[in-house]
Amino acid sequence: MALVNEHFLKLPNNYLFADIAKKVNAFKTVHPKTDVISLGIGDVTQPLCPAVVEAMHKATDEMATMQSFRGYGPEQGYDFLRDAILKNEFLPRSIHLDRDEIFISDGAKSDTGNFQELIRWDNSIAVTDPIYPVYIDSNAMIGRAGIKTEDGHWSNVIYLPCTAENGFVPALPQQRVDVIYLCYPNNPTGTTLTRNELKRWVQYAQKNDALIFFDAAYEAYIQHDDIPHSIYEIKGARKVAIEFHSYSKTAGFTGLRCGYTVVPKEVTVSTLTGERLPLNPLWNRRQCTKFNGTSYISQRAAEATYTTEGQQQIRQTIDYYMQNARRMKQALKGIGLQVYGGDDAPYLWVQTPEHMTSWRFFEQLLYNAHVVCTPGVGFGPSGEGYVRLTAFGSHERTEEALERILRFY
């Protein structure tokens, strides 16, 4: 008899986006002719840029002849991509990393979900709230999160609320924690931390011997100079932080798959007897055992984002989305809504009017404006009273959605 990993049974089986789809479908059944616009999508919509497509065609042709065919690649990723990352992402910010501190992945979701395997089940974890659900759920799967209580909190997780009251800047934990998940620019709130605010977290980690898992999936959307693109811009971070990157939102790779994780050699963890061990060789070992590399074609595609044309083309697409974000923020503020984020991220975090619940406001927007948003409470207890809107739509559909919302209010 095979016994189930009971921790999986603790995960709630109602998934946020399935619940949303159910409610949207219920609406469409009753109003089959109504055109519904989604501002809830967490996926990009613009196609891959020409430089990337060209690189993929070329890589495909290479795979077609025996001389240039590539089979299994290095589990850590090809040197051409690791070197392009060092040269284009880190050196311009005066961050000096070695090639073997960069691990190419098939995206940041897998790595942010898997990295917790390297630490014992009884470490304490802290998360900002609201939060990208992967961080908690992956910890729940090995029993580290405890159980989910009635009020939506996991019993063993330390929550750091981010709300309008604290300007979406989480307070340092009252107690010592072992691991802290930070994601900036943030999904879902679209807010950021300044260099000084992030510095406090690095100092906390140094003082408390804690690890920071830093998700930088949206760094390409940053528009302001005082917001760090990488936690390694902060002195001392290379001793305490692991950083996750993705080409998904940067270059539209959500369907293509490529990302990378930075594991500096100085980051160490402790044995029960107090011996310090670097995480870098452990992650290398984990990847060599469980991961067989990202496809050659995807890695050539990622490399192409660093060419002059590639850089210019992906920048154009990000500007396109950020133009939506600006329009949305301006229009929604114009009708008196409290709107956060959207300045350095493709997400807007909108406070519901008159203390309505997230789901109530979701339904109001759906039934009155025929616009779909994402209820904030789905991202954690502190998301109650907010909804998330995304800037990933087309200009035309975004404008139309705004007009409908404006007409209703």
Ligand X SMILES: *Cc1c(COP(=O)(O)O)cnc(C)c1O
DSSP states along 78-90? -HHHHHHHIIIII
Which of 45/203 has CB closer to ligand X?
45
Distance CA 135, CA 145 (A): 10
Which residues contact ligand X (rule: CB under 6 A)? 107-109, 132, 183, 187, 215, 217, 246, 248-249, 254, 259
CB of 190 to ligand X, least distance (A): 11
Q: Which is nearer to ligand X, 162 or 369 (CB)?
A: 162
Distance between CA atoms of residues 23 and 123, nearest Å? 38
Quickly tell me which residue has 């050699």 as its tokens: 265
Cβ–Cβ < 8 Å for 215, 261? no
CB of 42 to ligand X, least distance (A): 6
**Residue 160 is inside which H or E element, if any?**
strand 157-161
* Chain centre distance of CA 379: 12
Q: How far is the CB of 40 from ligand X (least distance, A)?
A: 13
Strand partners, 249: none
Smallest gap from Cβ 2 to ligand X, in A, equals 30
E strand spans, 216-365:
241-246, 259-262, 268-270, 276-278, 339-341, 347-351
- How far apart, in whole angstroms, are the C-alpha atoms of residue 253 and residue 258? 7
CB of 249 to ligand X, least distance (A): 6
- Closer to ligand X by CB, 259 or 310: give it: 259
Give the CB-nearest residue to ligand X: 107
Yes or no: say if 356 and 204 are a contact pair by the CB < 8 Å rule: no
By C-beta, is 206 or 254 nearer to ligand X?
254
What is residue 262's DSSP assignment? E
Instruction: State the minimum distance, in angstroms, from the CB of residue 262 to ligand X.
Output: 14
Nearer to ligand X, 107 or 383 (CB): 107
Taking the least distance from each CB to ligand X, the nearer of 126 and 217 is 217
